[in-house]
Each structure stands twice: as structure tokens, then as C-alpha cells.
Structure 1
Amino acid sequence: MDQRLRPYRSVLYIPGSRPRALEKARTLPVDAIIFDLEDAVAADEKDNARETLKDALAQGGYGERVKIVRINGLDTPWGQADAKAVRDMNADAVLLPKVNAAADVDALAAITGDLPIWAMMETPRGMLNAAQIAAHPLMAGFVMGTNDLAKELQTRFRPDRLPLITSLGLCLLAAKAEGLIAIDGVYNAFKDDEGLVAECTQGRDMGFDGKTLIHPAQVEITNAAYAPSEDEVDLARRQIAAFEETEAQGQGVAVVDGKIVENLHVASAREILAKAEAITALQAG
């Protein structure tokens, strides 16, 4: 499936050290899973987590969910071993934390070979170097690490995330310029459905492809927010039909709901329908 059309609405963090969580993840209606060997695993569990996760991925059962493994940084005592282990795991991609520059990606690629790489974008230097990071030939996606980024920037919490908007925008621009997937950061208050809806709406409006989640209770809201709505699908169909009819009749301009429909609108409409069909296919599977 074309990565641009593959759904990445919900991307759930799962601790790589917890067999029960790894088992439950096989049944959750998420589009992708980040199997975490970093923040979610205590120092004395790192080695065991690596083996537990390798066994779980070898066993399979995750269906069409994209399997991404977040390793520890290469500058930590565990990063090198993580990278070597992921190279031999049944994973779709490796996620590198705190990426500051393309050189960090080079260092990982020297170990993991041609395995697609995702970058945690969570440092001020990473924001400033987002374009060069996105342009790396093995880079497949950005994941916003908004908690770490807010700490580094010394921002205050605001529901509108205004202090983070510049950083979010820089990473979106870099990701879209290179055709990467861009995933928004987590929403920490996992029992606050109203706040989650608002942040999902903001992220979707900005252009993010989906959102990282810390709890399965957030999946339903996030899937709905990042899927094409019924109104969007209906409008897309009508735009395509009107444009094709106008072309067939040799007329000049197609109009839907009082607005001109041009080639770019039709291209967007076809993407919306393709994304909706991909979501339907995933749910059926």
C-alpha cells in the first residue's frame, strides 16, 4: 500500500517488556504500534525487554498494524544492542529518539541497514534541522515528542499548544516536503475525552497523519478524528463527479456548493476516498 494512503490515525505506545500488553495489542483497532524499549522500560529490564519483544514479533498476530520499535538512544548503554536486535526482529521500522541531525540517522543506519527509520522529533536542535533529517534516504516518518520538547523549550502548558506551534509547523513542513508520515505527540490526560478531541482536531487541521497514544481508551476518538468524515467523503465524490461531467461535456468550470472545482481539488478528493477505502479494508481485515 502507498505509504501516503496507508492509515496512521492511531499509533499506540506499548512497553516492550510486558507480555500481557504485547498480547493485548494484537486485538486493538490501532493503525500502528510503537513497541517501546526506551521510556517505558526500566533500566534493569532493558535486556529482558529486548528478548521479550523479539519473541512477540516473531510470533506475529499483529495483522496489518505497522510495527515500529523505539530503541534507546545510541549514546546510552542500551542503544547499540537495541539497534542490533531490531535489525533481526520482525519489525517494519525502527524509531530513534531525540534525533538532532541527519548524522544521528546515519549512525543508526550503519547498524540497522536498509530498515526504514522514523525519528522522534523532540529537541530544539532537531526542530532547526528538521529538513535535513527528513531528507535522509531511509527516513520514513516523524513522531513528535511533545513532552520532551516542551521541557527543553521551557514552555507552559496551554490547551491551544501555542508555544509548540512553531516546532510542530517546522516538522510538518519538512515531513510533507519529503513525503514522510507525520505523527502528532501524545495527549497526557487519557481520561479527558473532550481535550483529546480538541487536540486531535487541531493536529488533523494542521496536516498530521495521526496521533501517538498512551492508552487504549484514546483509540476510538483518535481513529474518528483522523479518518475522513462522512461529509468529506460525500463532498469528494460530488467534486469528482462534477469535474468529470464538466470535462466530458467540454464545459469550462465545474462548480460544487457554489465553489469552483479545479484539478487540485479533484486530486485531494481522490486521496480522501482512497484513505477512506484503506480504513474500511483495515477494519474488515
Structure 2
Amino acid sequence: MSDLRPRRSVLYMPSSNERALEKAKSIACDALIFDLEDAVAPDAKDAARANAVAAARSGEYGHREVTIRCNGLDTPWGADDLAAAATSGAASVVIPKVNSVDYLNEIEQRLDAAGAPAEMTIWAMIETPTAIMDVRAIAQHPRVNVLVMGNNDLAKELRTGVLPERTPLIPHLALALLGAREADKVILDGVYNDVRDPDGFLVEAEQGKAMGFDGKTLVHPSQVDPANEVWAPSADEVDFSRRVIEAFEEAEAEGRGVVTVDGRMIENLHVENAKRILAVADAIAAIG
């Protein structure tokens, strides 16, 4: 994986709500999205932008990765959002409804023109049929380091609704995952809307982890701890991974071609997976 920074739990925070931005300083999420788009009413857009920039510049969010979701360039606020976010100190801008590489190029040009540092990246939201069809090219854009699924909008566009087990969305989620993995980029699962249904959230999070997502975007602080737990390697996984690496290295040193751990045949692909699991565990441990 190109970027092993933990993003198990990525929480949307409406930037029009100053109390929410303050509360975010103490929430145990891995990353924050200061939202200027869906969660903000039109008459609050300017104030939300000022709040998000001030919060990002404050440096008061500790280990949490801070991003700002801008409005699209097809709105009255998108260009100003990008210009403000460019020098806010946020790590990335989150861009809704990315449908083409040309659009990403325009976003990048506007960021650079507004003085964004070279290390500021783009999180591209995949939430339309066009984005799914073009996800390989979108994922390979050099400024993009994270893909974010917008499952609600995608379901609306597909006229499916968001159903239990997400059966209608599975092929499209899988295609986005393939694009992310081919490009060696991080990909985040979309939100679970019903904050009163923790059991349903857990089922969907475990499904997302099993599919291969690197974490999940969230709409409520109560979803943070479950997401962190689902996407963290378990103690058993860490222990097994260490033993896999030790056994493989020992076999190589002794010139043995066959390695087994707990009765399982071990090959290079298992060793690489074990190394990834330990790297993820170390990255999580590093942020406390």
C-alpha cells in the first residue's frame, strides 16, 4: 500500500457548526472531513468556509488527519472553497462527484494557483456511474491519494436505494476497489446513515473490511470506536503474522523450500500480507 497512515475512521463534521468542530478535537477518529458541501445550508456556506479554514490552521487536532470537503466547481462556492482550502494547512481537499481526469486537472491547477503546497493531495469522491466507469483513470491521477465512496449518491443515480447487505452496490464497490488497488491508492467505504442502528453499522463495516476497504467514512462520533476496532488488526492476526515472517526467514536461512505455520503452507504472498498487517498495526500504535 502506498500510504499506510491509518484511516480506519474518517468522520464528516459540518463546518457550519462551531461546537462540532471543537468537539472533534477530542474524538478518537483517524481523520476528519470538515464539510462545506452536503451538511451545510446555502446561506451558511461562507461562514462554514471560514470556520473550516480556521480549524485547519489551528493545529489543535493532534494526530487526526484534517481534510476539507469543498463544493463542486459547478456551484457558486466551489472556486472560493478551493482557494481558501489551498493555504489552510489541511492535508487534503475532498472533491465531490469526480467524473474525469480533466476535472481533477482543473482542481489541481486551481490549488496550485491559490498557493497550495505540493504535498496537498486530493481525495476523489466516487459517487456517480461515470466515476465508476472511469475509476481506473481517476485513481491513477498523481495528485489523488484516496478514493472516497459516495454510496448514497451512487445508489440514487442507480435508482437502487441503499438496501441491507448493499447487494445492488456490490459490483460497483468492487470495481472501485479494483481501480484503487491497481493504482496502489487508499479507498474508503461510504457512510452508514442510521446512527440509531449500531448493529447494522457493524455488519456493514465488517462487510467493507472483508471487501478490502481501508476504512470507512462516518456521520456520527458513535461510529468511530466500532470502525477503529473493525479495521485494526486483531492480536491473533498480529501474532500469526509475526510467526509467518519468522518461520519464512528461518526456512530461507536453512535452505528449506517448504514452510508451514499452524499447519498452513506459507508462500511469498502470505509473507507480504503478514508484513502489511504488521505495518498497519505499527502505524496505529504510533498514533496512540
SS at match of 2:209: helix
SS at match of 2:165: coil
**What is the root-mean-square deviation of aligned Cα atoms in Å?**
1.2
- One-letter amino acid of the structure 2 residue matched with residue 66 of structure 1: E
**Is residue 181 of structure 2 the alignment partner of residue 163 of structure 1?**
no
**Is residue 263 of structure 2 the alignment partner of residue 258 of structure 1?**
yes
2:115 aligns with none
Contact residue 52 and residue 68 of structure 2 kept, 8 A:
no
Structure 1 unaligned spans of 5+: none
The equivalences for 1:70-81 within 5 A come to 70-81=69-80
1:210 aligns with 215
- Quote the Cα distance in structure 2 between the aligned partners of 1:149 and 1:202: 18
2:228 aligns with 223
Q: How far did 1:265 drift?
A: 0.8
**Is residue 167 of structure 2 the alignment partner of residue 153 of structure 1?**
no
- Quote the Cα distance in structure 1 between the aligned partners of 2:2 and 2:54: 27
2:24 aligns with 25
**Is residue 93 of structure 2 the alignment partner of residue 88 of structure 1?**
no
SS at match of 1:140: strand
1:107 aligns with 106
SS at match of 2:164: coil
Q: How far did 1:17 drift?
A: 1.5
Q: Deviations over 1:73-119 (max 9, x none)?
A: 00000001101111111100001101111111111111112431111
Per the normalisation by structure 2, the TM-score is 0.95
1:276 aligns with 281
The equivalences for 1:178-217 within 5 A come to 178-217=183-222
Of 143, 149, 173 in structure 1, the residue corresponding to residue 148 of structure 2 is 143
- One-letter amino acid of the structure 2 residue matched with residue 28 of structure 1: I
Residue correspondences, number: 282
- Quote the Cα distance in structure 1 between the aligned partners of 2:275 and 2:131: 34
4+ aligned runs moved over 6 Å, structure 1:
none
SS at match of 2:241: helix
Structure 2 unaligned spans of 5+: 113-117
Q: How far did 1:233 drift?
A: 0.9
Q: Deviations over 1:209-230 (max 9, x none)?
A: 0000000000111000011011
Percent of matched pairs sharing the same residue? 51
Q: How far did 1:157 drift?
A: 3.2
Q: How far did 1:132 drift?
A: 0.9
- Quote the Cα distance in structure 2 between the aligned partners of 1:188 and 1:14: 14
- Quote the Cα distance in structure 1 between the aligned partners of 2:52 and 2:67: 11
Q: How far did 1:38 drift?
A: 0.3
Q: How far did 1:19 drift?
A: 1.4
Q: How far did 1:3 drift?
A: 5.1
